[in-house]
Amino acid sequence: MRNIHQLSRSYFTISLLALMLVVSFSGIGFAGDGQVDLNTSTGKELQQLPGIGKGLAKRIVEYRTTNGPFKSVEELMKVKGIGKKTFAKMKERLTIGESAAVVAAQ
């Protein structure tokens, strides 16, 4: 009986560690303050933005792949389907990350 309790505790500990690992990596494209990094976010992460569905998220990723990293958040309006109104809804949640900002400044 004692071995069963030890085994249960081991499984619980491993499960807890695995959950912590998944949670820590699930927000790779998210900045620490809830912002979404246009240069590292996945399609699913981009869909968390207001007005962005599966199709627009795919176009954002395709644009980034074709044209390289976004140099400013305003560049997002170059993606077909994202106009001023859609951009205004999400602007406060967008970031381009430090590396792209350094490249844009040069």
Q: How confident is the model at residue 11, as a pLDDT?
A: 57
Q: Which candidate, 43, 39, 31, places its Cα nearest to that of 99?
A: 39
Region 50-58: mean pLDDT is: 95
Q: In sequence order, which residues have a C-beta less than 8 Å from that of residue 88 and are 6 or more positions away?
A: none
pLDDT at 20 over 60: no
Q: Which candidate, 65, 66, 74, places its Cα nearest to that of 95?
A: 74
Q: How confident is the model at residue 68, as a pLDDT?
A: 95
Q: Name the least confident of 6-10, 51-55, 96-100.
A: 6-10
Q: How confident is the model at residue 101, as a pLDDT?
A: 45
Residue pLDDT, tens place only, 55-82: 999 999 999 999 999 999 999 999 999 9
Q: How confident is the model at residue 34, as a pLDDT?
A: 73
